[in-house]
Structure 1
Amino acid sequence: MVMADELQGKKIAFIATEGVEQVELTEPWKAVERAGGQPELISIEDDEFHAWKHFDKADTFKPDKTAEEAQVGDYDGLVLPGGVANPDQLRTDENVVGFIRDFAAAGKPIGVICHGPWTLIEAGVVKGRKITSWPSLQTDLRNAGAAWVDEEVVVDAGLVSSRKPDDLPAFNAKIVEEFAEGTHEESAEKTEQAIHAEATPS
Structure 2
Amino acid sequence: MSKTLDGKRIAFLATDGFEQVELTQPWDAIKNAGADVVLVSPESGTIQGMNHDEKADKFKVDENAGSVSAENFDGLVLPGGVANPDALRMCDDSVSFVRDFFKQHKPVAAICHGPWTLIEADVVRGRKVTSWPSLKTDLTNAGAEWVDQECVVDEGLVTSRKPDDLDAFCAKAIEEFAEGKHAQQTA
Confirm or deny a common fold (TM above 0.5).
yes
Partner in structure 2 of residue 195 of structure 1:
none
Aligned match of 1:199 = none
Q: Does 1:125 align with 2:118?
A: no
In the alignment, which residue of structure 1 is the partner of 2:51?
53
Distance in 2 between residues matched to 1:126 and 1:157, nearest whole Å: 11
Alignment TM-score, normalising by the size of structure 1: 0.91
* Cα pair 1:4 1:35 within 8 Å, conserved: no
Q: Based on CA coordinates, which of the two structures has the bigger radius of gyration?
A: 1
Pick one of 83, 86, 102 that aligns with 2:84.
Answer: 86
Partner residue of 2:178? 180
SS, match of residue 90 in structure 2? coil
Q: CA deviation at 1:47?
A: 2.4
Q: What are the Cα deviations for residues 145-176 of structure 1, in whole angstroms up to 9, with x where unaligned?
A: 00000000000000000000000000000000
Q: Which runs of 5+ in 1 are unaligned?
A: 192-202
Indicate how the Cα distance of structure 1 residues 133 and 114 shifts in structure 2: closer, same or farther if over 3 A, else same: same
What is the alpha-carbon distance in structure 2 between the residues aligned to residue 49 and residue 86 of structure 1?
10
- Distance in 2 (alpha carbons) for counterparts of 1:30 and 1:74: 20
1:142 maps to which residue? 140
CA distance in structure 2 between the partners assigned to 1:103 and 1:178 by the alignment: 13
Distance 1:169 1:103 in 2: 23
Where do 1:185-200 residues align within 5 Å? Answer: 185-188=183-186, 191=187
Aligned equivalents of 2:2, 2:79: Cα separation in 1:
23
Q: How does 1:93-104 map to 2 (within 5 A)?
A: 93-104=91-102
Match of 1:200 in 2: none
Q: Distance in 1 between matches of 2:177 and 2:2?
A: 14
1:32 to 25, 30, 33: 30
Secondary structure at the counterpart of residue 97 of structure 1: helix
Moved over 4 A (4+): none
What corresponds to 1:170 in structure 2? 168
State the identity as a percent. Answer: 59
CA contact (8 A) 1:4 1:34 kept: no
Structure 1: distance between partners of 2:50 and 2:56: 5
Query: Equivalent residue of 2:67, what SS?
Result: coil
The equivalent of 1:194 in structure 2 is none
Asked if 1:64 corresponds to 2:27, the answer is no
